[in-house]
């Protein structure tokens, strides 16, 4: 059966020192075992069987790690933590955790970059996507700026440099998060001209809350509102708006007021 390994404090210290001092050149601990060590340490920490500091000290070696298998349990830690704490800059109570997470991501993100290379394996591509996703989720400034640059480049060269499907959400959503109203308008025009309606919901990622929300309700013509496909898409987009601004009373109030005016009498 499956079991977890709980070491004594001295052994945890020795493992931590070895991993952090080896700078990516590991001989004594395999890829699978490095992943298991992280997974075991996290679950032991959550069950109060080891101190939090043991886990944080241990995972520092990930800042020099670019193996997807080793990173996988830590990605799951990110997912778990994002459920129980708000991972935003405004969450002052959890600033320490946010800083630790971002520190782990900095070097791997710099090593991997944001562009896929022709000869690299799928594991490397997957890790890049995950690292980039969480760096932006944790509002790492350089990540958002890179997404915006990629978005602007795509708008200028969309025929010669189309976005890979698995990078569309990251590029549009994170780029628009810090984009100005002019870029937001350019993206809107581009998507409407391309009839890429499925991507329109990404416009709600923009920080121009009131502007984007109210504008969304006017994106469709009267003829389109008779099309059941467009109607369903309109509903999906509206749901995206409500989900995003459900905790922002002044914006939500304006959206609902606008909806009250627009609904059939």
| Contacting residues for 256 by C-beta, under 8 A, at least 6 apart | none
Place 246 in a pLDDT band, splitting at 50, 70 and 90: low
Tokens linked to 65: 């790690």
More confident residue, 54 or 25: 54
Asked if 206 and 212 touch (Cβ cutoff 8 Å), the reply is: yes
pTM of the entire structure?
0.80
5-14, 85-94, 139-148, 230-239: least confidently modelled range: 85-94
Q: How confident is the model at residue 75 (pLDDT cuts 50, 70, 90)?
A: very high
SS3 string, 73-108, reads HHHHHHHHHHHHCCCCCCCHHHHHHHHHHHHHHHHH
Among residues of the chain, what percentage have pLDDT more than 90? 41
Which pLDDT score, from 0 to 100, does residue 201 have? Answer: 73
Q: Which of 10-19, 131-140, 216-225 has the lowest mean pLDDT?
A: 216-225
> Measured between alpha carbons, how far is 50 from 8 in angstroms, rounded to an integer?
9
pLDDT of 204 = 76
Between 36-40, 113-117, 247-251, the lowest mean confidence (pLDDT) is in: 247-251
Q: What crossing angle do the helices spanning 209-216 and 228-245 adopt, rounded to 10°?
A: 160
pLDDT greater than 80 at residue 133: yes
Does residue 48 register a pLDDT over 90?
Answer: yes
Of the ranges 161-165, 245-249, 251-255, which one carries the lowest mean pLDDT score?
245-249
What's the confidence (pLDDT) of residue 186?
A: 86
H or E stretch covering 170: helix 168-177
**Where along the chain do its domains lie?**
1-139, 141-265
Q: Is the pLDDT of residue 15 over 60?
A: yes
CA-CA distance, 53 to 55, in Å (whole number)? 5
Question: Two tokens at 108?
Answer: 């791997």
Q: For a pLDDT cut of 70, what percent of the chain falls above it?
A: 78
Domain 1-139 has CATH 1.25.50.20: yes
Q: Is the pLDDT of residue 118 over 80?
A: yes
Phi and psi at residue 222, to the nearest 5°: -60, -40
Quick one: which H or E segment has residue 252?
helix 249-262
């Amino acid at each position: 059966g499956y079991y977890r390994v709980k070491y004594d404090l001295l052994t945890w210290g020795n493992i931590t020192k070895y991993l952090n001092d080896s700078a990516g050149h590991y001989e004594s601990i395999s890829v699978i075992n490095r992943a298991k060590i992280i997974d075991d340490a996290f679950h032991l920490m959550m069950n109060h069987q080891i101190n939090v500091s043991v886990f944080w000290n241990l995972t520092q070696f990930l800042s020099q790690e670019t193996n997807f298998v080793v990173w996988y349990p830590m990605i799951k830690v990110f997912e778990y933590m994002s459920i129980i704490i708000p991972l935003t800059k405004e969450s002052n109570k959890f600033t320490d955790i946010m800083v630790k997470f971002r520190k782990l991501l900095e070097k791997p993100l710099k090593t991997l970059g944001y562009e896929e290379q022709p000869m690299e394996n799928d594991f490397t591509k997957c890790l890049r996507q995950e690292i980039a996703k969480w760096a932006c989720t944790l509002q790492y400034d350089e990540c958002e700026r890179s997404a915006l640059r990629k978005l602007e480049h795509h708008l200028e060269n969309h025929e010669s440099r189309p976005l890979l499907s698995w990078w569309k959400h990251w590029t549009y959503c994170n780029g628009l998060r810090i984009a100005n109203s002019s870029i937001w308008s350019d993206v809107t025009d581009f998507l409407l001209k391309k009839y890429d309606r499925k991507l329109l919901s990404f416009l709600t990622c923009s920080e121009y809350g009131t502007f984007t929300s109210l504008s969304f309700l006017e994106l469709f013509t009267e003829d389109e509102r008779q099309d059941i496909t467009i109607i369903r898409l309109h509903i999906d987009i509206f749901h995206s708006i409500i989900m995003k601004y459900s905790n922002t009373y002044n914006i939500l109030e304006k959206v609902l007021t606008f909806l009250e005016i627009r609904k059939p009498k």
